[in-house]
Structure 1
Amino acid sequence: MNQKQDIPLAAPSVRSFRGVVSGLVYLFENVMPDPFTLAIWLTLLVGAAAYCWAPHGGVLTILSSWYDGTFKIVGFALQMILIFASGYAISDSPLAQKGLRALAATASTPTRAALLVVPLVAIASWFNWGVGLVGGALLAREIAKRTRVDFAWLVAACYSGCAIVTNSGLSSSIALSQASHGNALNLVEKATGQLVPLSHTVFAPFVYIPTIVVTAVVTAIFIAIHPKPDRMVCFPKSADTESDTGAAREPASRASSFGARLDRSILGTAILVLFGASYLAIDWSTNGFNLGINTMILVFMLIGLVLQRTPIAYAESIRRAAGQTGAMLLQFPLYGGIMGIMTGTGLASVISSGFLLIATSATLPLWSYLSSLVITLFIPSSGGHWAVQGPFVIPAALSLHADIARTSMGVALAENVSVLLQPFWVVPVVAIAGIRIQPVMAYTSIAFLVSLVVYAVALAPVF
């Protein structure tokens, strides 16, 4: 079956490209440690850099900043986990699962799989990165059960489809925070008293056009780099036999009890949906339509409740989601500590100001993008990253009379790129899919190079 599905290999460039990918797979397999271990060493690296170059790089300042950052990120971490969990509940619903199985049945070759997963996951992630992240991992499993395809390649394609649009869409924490009145991270409002509506960021041509382009190009790249049949590592069939419920069995004596009937009654769901929908209707009619981080969590929670139908079904789905967030919970404090060091010692200002010193009003968005690429490797959460870099790029934009929306999104779009090399958000994907992270990131590094160029061109002064 597979001999008919691969694209021709006659072109030397394609053979060379696959040789590069094979080398990257070997490199990541043998060099890259576990993401938690990596975060530990990044903490040491940032601490050393702060000691050497930061304006306030004393040992006491480094340690106190690390401690403050470790626990200051807890509230934001919970928001991000709730976005992930609410997206999981939507993707885990019976209707969504039926759709995933139907979609997986159409991906009968690696080429068709790439044509399906990258654009589809990108679209889902544009609406909610949690839906795209979780749905992509679940879709990868469904496809791999039916089609002979390299599993690491497939998971990487799904994750890349999510990563390259996450901060270009409706769940972009940077875009949402600047559009939300009173948001703690709305640095534009604090400096100018004005909001930056989504029409100037997410729905602006300089954002949505390169997002479409990079999605198309990454799809083509993944078609080209699928391993040859003799090099494929397919989905282990034994992994499909495990139970994924994660819930305790209900005693037979409780099945017909009053409490069990309440659990299975859609009345509870209706009450919560009524509360949430009523609040949104009143808020949007009074203050106009707006989407903040908390609003997005509420919207997707309501959608998940409707799709899961009963309170107990939704609760069980969230429990399954919680089982995939352990690594995220482990890493958030470490990256919060890194963020604290970079902020408290002034290291982030050294990095940002180094780029901003050579910027003009026309080039500031591009320099914000390039500096963001560096900072994102140490602070992979876009909201936390914005808290570090935003206080430097927004005053610079005001001083240079640069486009604030483009400057802000320069920071955000770099997140779309750097997370393809930063393993923080890959962890829940590989946990759901059931695969090691190293071979997956070998493929996402190729998507990194592609998206790096496309988004840089979109922010270049000529455009």
Structure 2
Amino acid sequence: MKVLVSFFNRVMQRYLPDPFLFVIILTFVVFGLGLIFTDSSPYQMVQHWGTGFWSLLTFSMQMVLVLVTGYVLASSAIFKKGLGALAGLAKSPGQAIIIVTLVSLVASWINWGFGLVIGALFAKELAKKVETVDYRLLIASAYTGFIIWHGGFSGSIPLTIATEGHFSQDLIGIISTDQTIFATFNIFIVLALIVLLPIVNRLMMPSKEETVTVDPALLNDDVQAATLEKAAMTPADRLENSRIVSLLTGILGLAFLFYYFSSNGFKLNLDIVNFLFLFLGILFHGTPKRFLESVMNAVKGASGIIIQFPFYAGIMGMMTASGLAVVMSEAFVSISNEFTFPFFTFISAGIVNFFVPSGGGQWAVQAPIMLEAAKALDVSIPKTAMAVAWGDAWTNMIQPFWALPALAIAGLKAKDIMGYCVFALLVSGVVISIGLLFL
């Protein structure tokens, strides 16, 4: 195993470019594939690209806030103390790898945005406690937990088809989550990954000579806001350093959260996760000045998201408007039978996810083809939907799009962790395929 992992690491270090260059390369690949496999002209492909370019602005801002609010919350004294205490359970590098994988898996199963941030933040705290752990593998282990998200409580596809009025309702009706998230095959996949991934990540630990560690001092995110003597403070200074302002603002946010959860139950979405992180960060930092200092530090890591997500939106525009995503999906349908259909649906979704890295967006593209084919082949509709969901989650392991927030928090580059993620991709692909084919 270690020989194979070492090979993947060498390949990624040598050939994987910066995520910005990766998305540029993907842009031209999709442009070329659209010309070859669809009837779109070069001018039309340019139109599709430009029209879609700004279609993810809302989502991009949400992801920036995932990074910023998560960083701000984690840099507060109270939260750092809590994460630090949990990190103290790890007494060796192997234990650190196992614990961070488990925490990330469980957190991502509860909510994908929560898991994506918490995993990376917890990994940083572990690196401070266990100085001899390989930092690259530690962050990679935190990110591998993200693979479970689409089989959990925040899975966009199973939640979409369980919602009244979804776009495929006339074709498949309403499908409750007991047939998708809580179905036997899905529970098997989730439990198998929770058991296997920590073990796999632990076995990927490099030798002592090849271990890359980080100085814990470099991971210190403490906010050092300048303080003034009360007598020297202007009225503006007093407001900036007022605990009452932060307390009242935090209480206002918590009051809304109480209303939301009492009305909707424990139903998390990206906006609520960001809202929770934001107002806890305001409360935990104590004063507006310390909070804003932390925000300034956090924003420095958001550049990748701000610049790259519009390019992914342009790729999605070309994939959907040209019909290229449909061509890919139909190609896999044409070689499927009743038994292999869930597997090939999973593989096709994994490939499409490279170019349409959005669960909801991918479902909108693939659902019409896959659901019609499932009906024609008399294959389970819930399993077909979850095959698309797992395919979408699966190739996130080697798609830098979703790794950007975690990498920004960790201060690493995609090529630093992707070698480990490739091996996690192979193992998880076998587990998911078994669940879809035989259960």
Tell me which interval the TM-score lies in, with the shorter structure as reference length.
0.7 to 0.9
- How many Å apart are 1:365 and its aligned residue? 2.6
Question: Which residue of structure 1 aligns with residue 374 of structure 2?
Answer: 397
**In 1: Cα distance, 2:101 partner to 2:314 partner:** 33
- How many Å apart are 1:77 and its aligned residue? 3.3
The answer to whether structure 1 residue 436 and structure 2 residue 413 are counterparts is yes
Letter in 1 for 2:247: I
Question: Which residue of structure 1 aligns with residue 11 of structure 2?
Answer: 27
The answer to whether structure 1 residue 200 and structure 2 residue 179 are counterparts is yes
TM-score (norm 1): 0.83
**In 1: Cα distance, 2:227 partner to 2:168 partner:** 51
Q: Deviations over 1:147-189 (max 9, x none)?
A: 211111111111112x22121222222233333445xxx4333
Question: Which residue of structure 2 aligns with residue 120 of structure 1?
Answer: 103
**In 2: Cα distance, 1:35 partner to 1:431 partner:** 12
- How many Å apart are 1:80 and its aligned residue? 4.5
CA gap 1:82/1:397 in 2 versus in 1, 3 angstroms:
farther
Which secondary structure does the structure 1 equivalent of 2:209 belong to? Answer: helix
Q: Give the conservation status (yes or no) of the 8 Å contact 2:326–2:369.
A: yes
Q: 1:188 aligns with which of 131, 152, 168?
A: 168
Which secondary structure does the structure 2 equivalent of 1:445 belong to? Answer: helix
CA gap 1:230/1:353 in 2 versus in 1, 3 angstroms:
same
- How many Å apart are 1:333 and its aligned residue? 1.1
Q: 1:42 aligns with which of 23, 26, 30?
A: 26
Q: Give the conservation status (yes or no) of the 8 Å contact 2:162–2:177.
A: yes
**In 2: Cα distance, 1:93 partner to 1:316 partner:** 11
Q: Give the conservation status (yes or no) of the 8 Å contact 1:201–1:207.
A: yes
CA gap 1:453/1:90 in 2 versus in 1, 3 angstroms:
farther
Q: Which runs of 5+ in 2 are unaligned?
A: none
Question: Which residue of structure 1 aligns with residue 258 of structure 2?
Answer: 277
Q: 1:233 aligns with which of 198, 212, 217?
A: 212
The answer to whether structure 1 residue 167 and structure 2 residue 167 are counterparts is no
- How many Å apart are 1:328 and its aligned residue? 1.7
Q: Deviations over 1:117-168 (max 9, x none)?
A: 111111111112222222222222222223211111111111112x221212
Q: Which runs of 5+ in 1 are unaligned?
A: 1-16
Letter in 2 for 1:176: L
Q: Give the conservation status (yes or no) of the 8 Å contact 1:180–1:291.
A: no
CA gap 1:91/1:167 in 2 versus in 1, 3 angstroms:
farther
- How many Å apart are 1:20 and its aligned residue? 1.9
Letter in 2 for 1:105: G
Which of 340-349 and 104-113 deviates more?
A: 104-113
Which of 87-96 and 21-30 deviates more?
A: 87-96
How many residue pairs align between the two structures?
A: 432
Equivalent runs, 1:405-424 vs 2, <5 Å: 405-424=382-401
TM-score (norm 2): 0.87
Q: Give the conservation status (yes or no) of the 8 Å contact 2:239–2:245.
A: no
- How many Å apart are 1:255 and its aligned residue? 6.7
Q: 2:113 aligns with which of 118, 121, 130?
A: 130
Q: Deviations over 1:312-359 (max 9, x none)?
A: 477776665544332122221111111111111111111001111233
CA gap 1:264/1:47 in 2 versus in 1, 3 angstroms:
same
CA gap 1:85/1:125 in 2 versus in 1, 3 angstroms:
farther
Letter in 1 for 2:139: V
CA gap 1:91/1:204 in 2 versus in 1, 3 angstroms:
farther
**In 1: Cα distance, 2:362 partner to 2:301 partner:** 23
Question: Which residue of structure 1 aligns with residue 318 of structure 2?
Answer: 341
Question: Which residue of structure 1 aligns with residue 46 of structure 2?
Answer: 63
Q: Deviations over 1:71-91 (max 9, x none)?
A: 222233344445555555655
**In 2: Cα distance, 1:122 partner to 1:426 partner:** 15
Q: Give the conservation status (yes or no) of the 8 Å contact 1:29–1:439.
A: yes
Q: 2:327 aligns with which of 350, 363, 370?
A: 350
Letter in 2 for 1:271: L
- How many Å apart are 1:220 and its aligned residue? 1.2
Question: Which residue of structure 2 aligns with residue 387 of structure 1?
Answer: 364
Letter in 2 for 1:188: S
Which secondary structure does the structure 1 equivalent of 2:363 belong to? Answer: helix
Which secondary structure does the structure 1 equivalent of 2:181 belong to? Answer: coil
Which of 328-337 and 257-266 deviates more?
A: 257-266
**In 2: Cα distance, 1:95 partner to 1:169 partner:** 29
Q: Identity, % of aligned pairs?
A: 31
Question: Which residue of structure 2 aligns with residue 458 of structure 1?
Answer: 435
Question: Which residue of structure 1 aligns with residue 138 of structure 2?
Answer: 154
Question: Which residue of structure 1 aligns with residue 352 of structure 2?
Answer: 375
- How many Å apart are 1:371 and its aligned residue? 0.4
Q: 2:341 aligns with which of 358, 364, 388?
A: 364
Question: Which residue of structure 2 aligns with residue 224 of structure 1?
Answer: 203
Equivalent runs, 1:234-253 vs 2, <5 Å: 234-237=213-216, 239-240=218-219, 245=223, 252-253=233-234
